[in-house]
């Protein structure tokens, strides 16, 4: 039988060690939404800063880092969070524009109580959000998120004036993170003679990624590196790599690197202009670690991971496990299975032998190191994995539907299952960050996959009464 996955059915496959209670504001990746619509408002962020401050004031002394991407609303939310933390008596260090993984790194190395990221990642400029990192540089534990939420419903108070928090800017944040990125490959490794195009998505890596790749010796053509507050992720970056394809071919580059707005995703383009997605990049890194004897535990993907990657890894003797969609679930399963490598086809790649969270720049450096070590092109390295045709259709939602209980949708799914036979998969899930139902169909026959995905997408729309 083909594999049919509904995301909530997989929720019990990872034991987090405590009974989960529904959170009011925090989703799988913090709080996110449209700017000006509750809770993505200045008053909510003020209260969130205060609530966060109250929690960490109780946890001990220290400061909290605040970083952001380049969207224009970041100024407003940075000020609101700072004011709330100050009112709660907690000091802050302001990082300015900084990639999400850079904030995770600085939170850990500066021994901050927490790191706060103001970003909506790959979303358009009119969205924004907030997420947190712990002192270990990992996503904030659920119990602390719940404690923060408990204060959000309490009246806001201000500590005595002598106890108010202080704020200052950390001027060398970018330099610290650039040096860290370079440290994730051998110091003697030099990329002189490499020409690469780097697309920063007009996001948080615009002043960092080009320097990293230049300082390891590559000739860099930087694009998407002129943020104006509203052009973040706009027809560029990891979510829209077609612009990078054009530039790689035009400059006859060895390859291209596409990051997203907050720098935690990576998509690459080879010298032939072919897009290399997260699954293929994870496969390359896995094979690299295996060849040096440094691959520990299984590789972890998600329900969206291409079946071709799973088969390619197993053919190489590499164990593979699937987690729910979302990098925090990949991380949980990696920790449970004691693995070091995992991620998503969207470009979230976690190399726990190098850092604590998904990092687009660090992941790109791992690929570059393998190109250098083997003398093979990116195109050659990815050829060991053959992707199955996979179609993803995002259906906008205006009301909640349960795919498991909708009879019409169940019938349509069973019809698709029957057609796919043993070499296909169907996945229906609600997005954790956007009002969408994601319909994914995968199989051997591209025409059949396309037709089946559209049928299911139409059925989802019908289930909503559209």
- Active-site residues: which are they? 121
Bridge partner residues of 350 (DSSP): 342
| Residue that is written with structure tokens 């103001």 in the block | 118
**Judging by beta carbons within 10 Å of its beta carbon (0-12, 13-18, 19+), is residue 193 exposed, middle or buried?**
exposed
Q: Within 130-187, where are the H helices? A: 142-152, 173-182
Q: Is the dihedral of CA 405, 432, 311, 300 positive or negative?
A: negative
First-to-last alpha carbon distance for the chain, in angstroms, is: 31
Q: Are 88 and 47 in contact (CB under 8 A)?
A: no
CB–CB of 185/351 below 8 Å? no
Three-class SS state of 418:
helix
- CB contact set of 405 (below 8 Å; sequence gap of 6+): none
Looking at residue 19, the DSSP 8-state letter turns out to be: -
- The C-alpha atoms of residue 376 and residue 255 are separated, in whole angstroms, by 12
C-alpha span between 256 and 250 (Å, rounded): 11
Contact 239, 233 (CB under 8 A): yes
Burial 422-456 (b: 16+ CB within 10 A, else e): eebbbbbbbbbbbebbbbbbbbebeebbeebbebb
Q: 3-class DSSP state for residue 322?
A: strand
Q: Could you count the other beta carbons within 10 Å of the beta carbon of residue 313?
A: 24
Provide the token pair at 99.
Answer: 């990639």
Q: Of 206, 181, 220, which is closest to residue 102 (Cα–Cα)?
A: 181
């Amino acid at each position: 039988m083909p594999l049919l996955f509904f995301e909530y059915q997989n929720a019990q496959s990872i034991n987090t060690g405590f009974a989960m209670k529904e959170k009011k504001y925090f989703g799988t990746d913090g709080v996110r939404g449209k700017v000006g619509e509750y809770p993505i408002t200045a008053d909510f962020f003020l209260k969130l800063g205060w609530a966060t401050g109250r929690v960490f004031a109780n946890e001990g002394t220290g400061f909290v880092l605040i970083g952001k991407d380049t969207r224009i609303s970041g100024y407003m939310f940075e000020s609101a969070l700072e004011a709330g933390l100050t009112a709660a008596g907690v000091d802050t260090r302001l990082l300015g524009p900084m990639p999400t993984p850079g904030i995770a790194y600085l939170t850990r190395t500066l021994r901050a109580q927490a790191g706060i990221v103001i970003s909506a990642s790959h979303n358009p400029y009119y969205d924004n959000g907030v997420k947190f990192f712990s002192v270990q540089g990992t996503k904030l534990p659920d119990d602390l998120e719940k404690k923060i939420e408990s204060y959000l419903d309490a009246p806001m108070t201000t500590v005595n004036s002598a106890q108010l928090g202080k704020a200052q800017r950390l001027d060398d944040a970018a330099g610290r993170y650039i040096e860290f990125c370079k440290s994730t490959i051998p110091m003697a490794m030099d990329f002189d003679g490499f020409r690469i195009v780097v697309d920063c998505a007009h996001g948080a890596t615009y002043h960092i990624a080009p320097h990293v790749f230049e300082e390891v010796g590559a000739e860099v053509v930087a694009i998407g590196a002129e943020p104006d507050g509203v052009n973040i992720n706009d027809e560029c970056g990891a979510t829209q790599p077609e612009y990078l394809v054009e530039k790689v071919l035009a400059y006859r580059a060895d390859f291209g690197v596409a990051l997203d707005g907050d720098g935690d995703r990576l998509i690459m383009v080879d010298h032939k202009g072919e897009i290399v997605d997260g699954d293929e990049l994870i496969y390359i890194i896995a094979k690299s670690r295996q060849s040096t004897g440094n691959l520990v535990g299984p590789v972890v993907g998600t329900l969206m991971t291409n079946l071709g990657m799973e088969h390619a890894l197993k053919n190489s003797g590499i164990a593979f496990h699937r987690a729910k969609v979302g990098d925090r679930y990949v991380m949980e399963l990696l920790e449970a299975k004691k693995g070091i490598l995992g991620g998503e086809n969207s470009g979230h790649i976690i190399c726990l032998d190098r850092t604590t969270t998904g990092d687009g720049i660090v992941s790109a450096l791992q690929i570059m190191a393998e190109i250098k070590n083997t003398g093979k092109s990116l195109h050659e390295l990815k050829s060991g994995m053959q992707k199955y045709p996979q179609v993803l259709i995002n259906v906008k939602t205006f009301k909640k539907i349960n795919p498991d209980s909708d009879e019409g949708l169940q019938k349509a799914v069973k019809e698709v299952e029957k057609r796919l036979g043993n070499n296909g998969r169907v996945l229906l899930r609600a997005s954790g960050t956007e009002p969408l139902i994601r319909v994914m169909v995968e199989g051997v026959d591209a025409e059949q996959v396309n037709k089946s995905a559209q049928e299911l997408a139409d059925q989802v729309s019908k289930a909503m009464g559209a």
